[in-house]
Structures are given as structure tokens and as C-alpha cells.
């Protein structure tokens, strides 16, 4: 019996140049193994500046983009793939670039009627010199993911994070500063425009940092989240609206905060290439709906191939688990 991707040459893009390289390698390992089980001929490409030349020589049927962070997730690699006319997974150039820029993404999402935290962009030296808003607040790079370079400034803190002006800082001159929203950390996967479910993340510390996200046993995921049904429905609707407003396609993951004391729900950001590691949220949510990991990877790949083969027209095929929603 022929496997679903038999005869299909898939280039898996992983590694890359960003601070999220290790996460990408983990995602790529899992997705590549799934693609091989599905019968694809998989070529693993550690994406570097010579990517266009490498892909031109390989001539794949489709690229599975397992890159995370700057360059691989912000529209740059997507632009290379568009130029070479190679079908690729996840969102396109504009949506990828827009979602990675937190300030611009928040403006678009807010205009679509989705509640977001306040705050804005500030020069990192200004932020390090004095409080630009009353604590507690959050400081984070404007164009990074995986909680890289994120700081929480607690109420009563004497000074802002001095790491912002350290020689090792490589995350840009402007940083996002926004009010800290207490409460529950939530995540919603969106597949083919439809929300899957809501996960509550219980990190071992107050903040869902890099270690809590990716270390084995670093956090506890409760799914579906134990929150009131109206809040769950609102979170899913907000994620769908944000996905659509940014022009995303394929799979995304929205991160939200829910202040259960004051009944405040805000959407923090949309991840256009969510992690596909053993501890990642999207595969867990898909599994809850009966979509095994290999089937999820198959759908992501086939969705990209169908869209590319149709000259940019999205596939009409039903997303796995669609009938379960």
C-alpha cells in the first residue's frame, strides 16, 4: 500500500540563524521523522544565507518550514520560497512579517476588535534608565519568540532590567513594554481558520519562560483549560479573529492571558510557526481532537502543496478534526 507522501520530495527547513535555533532543531527532528514515516523523501536543510542556491539545486515538491524566529518566521525565508515558486507550509510573506512585529500585529489585531494589552515601543536605553510605566509591566523584544529576552518588572521594583543595555543584547534597539496582566496563561491553536481548543499552561515559576516552554517537565498543560465555557468560547473566537486579521494560513497558535479575578481576557500574540516539539501545545491540542502527530504533519504539508499547486489558492480539503469541532 502506498504511503500518503510516497514519491513526494519534501525539504525540511530547520536550525537557521535566530536565537530560537535549538527549538527549530527540535521541531524539525519531530516533523522530519513524521514525514519519513508518511513515505516522503526528506532532505534536511539547515537554513543559511545560501538558502536560495540550495533550494534551486534540490528542486523539492514542497518545503516544510520548521524554522522559528527572525529570518525564518518573519517573511524573509517566505519571500525566497515565493521567488523560487516552491510551495511551503504556514503563513505567507505579509502575515509572517506582520505577526513577528509585535507592535504592528497588536495594532491590526486591536483594529479587528480583539482585546490586547496596552503599552508601546520604546528605545531600550530609555527603558533601562527608568520606568516608562508604573510596574508591574513586561519588557520584550519586538520581533522574537519563545520568550527570548522577556522580563517582568514587578510592582515595587527599584529599577528596570539592566540586561537591556548589556553588550550581549542582540534583540534590536526598540522593545515592547506593556502592562503585566495577572492570571492564567492560555493558548489556542487555529487550524485552517478554526480554533481547536484552549490550553491552560501552569509553569513552575510565575513566568512562562524559555525553560518552562521547552524543557521536559518544564510546565503542566491542562487541556481543555478549566475555565468558564463563555471564556473558552471567547478565547477561541479571539484567536480565530486574530488569525484572520493578520492573514495567516495553515496552523497558528495564539497566546492569551486571563485575569479570572477581574474577568479580563487579552490576546498577547499570534505565532505563525508554532513549536512542534515533544512539549509543544499545537500537537497536544490536535491529539485531544483525535488528530495524531503524523496526521497533523500530513495535513500541514498537503495544505501547503495544494495551495502552491493551485497558484496560491487555498486548498478546499477539510482540516483534520474539522468535523469534531
- 102 — phi, psi (to 5°)? -60, -40
Spell out the residues 6+ positions from residue 293 whose beta carbon is closer than 8 angstroms to its own. 30, 34, 283, 286, 287
What CA–CA distances, in Å, run from 264 to 46, 117, 208? 42, 10, 19
Residue 269 is among the residues annotated as catalytic for this protein? yes
Mean pLDDT of 234-263: 97
Residue 27 is among the residues annotated as catalytic for this protein? no
Name the active-site residue from 61, 74, 269, 302. 269
Whether the per-residue pLDDT at 20 is higher than 70: the answer is yes
Whether the per-residue pLDDT at 169 is higher than 50: the answer is yes
Give the pLDDT confidence score for residue 182 in this predicted structure.
92
Give the pLDDT confidence score for residue 193 in this predicted structure.
96
User: Tens digit of pLDDT for each residue in 85-140?
Assistant: 999 999 999 999 999 999 999 999 999 999 999 999 999 999 999 999 999 999 99
Percent with pLDDT over 90 in the chain? 79
Residue 124 is among the residues annotated as catalytic for this protein? no
Residue 271 is among the residues annotated as catalytic for this protein? yes
Name the active-site residue from 70, 255, 284, 303. 255
- 283 — phi, psi (to 5°)? -60, -35
This prediction has a pTM of: 0.88
Mean pLDDT of 54-66: 97
Give the pLDDT confidence score for residue 315 in this predicted structure.
37
Residue 123 is among the residues annotated as catalytic for this protein? no
Amino acid at each position: 500500500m502506498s504511503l500518503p507522501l510516497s514519491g513526494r520530495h519534501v525539504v525540511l527547513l530547520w536550525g537557521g540563524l535566530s536565537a530560537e535555533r535549538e527549538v527549530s532543531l527540535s521541531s524539525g527532528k519531530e516533523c522530519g521523522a513524521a514525514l519519513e514515516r508518511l513515505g516522503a523523501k526528506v532532505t534536511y536543510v539547515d537554513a543559511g544565507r545560501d538558502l536560495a542556491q540550495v533550494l534551486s539545486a534540490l528542486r523539492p515538491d514542497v518545503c516544510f518550514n520548521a524554522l522559528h524566529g527572525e529570518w525564518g518566521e518573519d517573511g524573509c525565508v517566505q519571500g525566497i520560497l515565493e521567488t523560487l515558486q516552491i510551495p511551503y507550509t504556514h503563513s505567507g510573506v505579509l502575515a509572517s512579517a506582520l505577526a513577528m512585529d509585535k507592535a504592528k500585529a497588536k495594532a491590526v489585531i486591536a483594529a479587528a476588535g480583539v482585546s490586547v494589552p496596552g503599552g508601546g515601543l520604546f528605545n531600550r536605553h530609555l527603558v533601562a534608565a527608568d520606568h516608562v510605566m508604573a510596574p508591574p509591566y513586561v519588557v520584550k523584544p519586538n520581533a522574537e519568540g519563545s520568550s527570548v529576552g522577556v522580563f517582568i518588572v514587578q510592582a515595587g521594583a527599584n529599577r528596570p532590567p539592566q540586561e537591556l543595555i548589556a553588550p550581549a543584547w542582540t534583540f534590536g534597539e526598540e522593545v515592547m513594554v506593556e502592562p503585566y496582566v495577572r492570571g492564567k496563561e492560555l493558548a489556542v491553536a487555529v487550524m485552517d481558520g478554526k480554533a481547536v481548543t484552549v490550553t491552560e499552561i501552569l509553569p513552575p515559576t510565575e513566568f512562562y519562560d524559555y525553560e518552562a516552554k521547552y524543557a521536559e517537565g518544564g510546565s503542566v498543560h491542562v487541556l481543555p483549560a478549566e475555565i468558564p465555557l463563555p471564556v473558552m468560547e471567547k478565547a477561541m473566537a479571539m484567536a480565530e479573529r486574530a488569525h484572520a486579521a493578520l492573514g495567516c494560513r495553515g496552523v497558528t497558535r495564539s497566546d492569551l492571558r486571563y485575569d479570572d479575578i477581574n474577568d479580563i481576557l487579552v490576546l498577547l500574540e499570534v505565532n505563525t510557526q508554532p513549536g512542534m516539539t515533544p512539549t509543544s501545545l499545537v500537537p497536544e491540542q490536535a491529539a485531544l481532537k483525535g488528530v495524531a502527530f503524523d496526521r497533523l504533519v500530513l495535513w500541514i504539508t498537503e495544505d501547503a502543496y495544494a495551495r502552491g499547486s493551485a497558484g496560491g489558492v487555498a486548498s478546499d480539503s477539510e482540516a483534520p478534526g474539522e468535523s469534531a469541532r
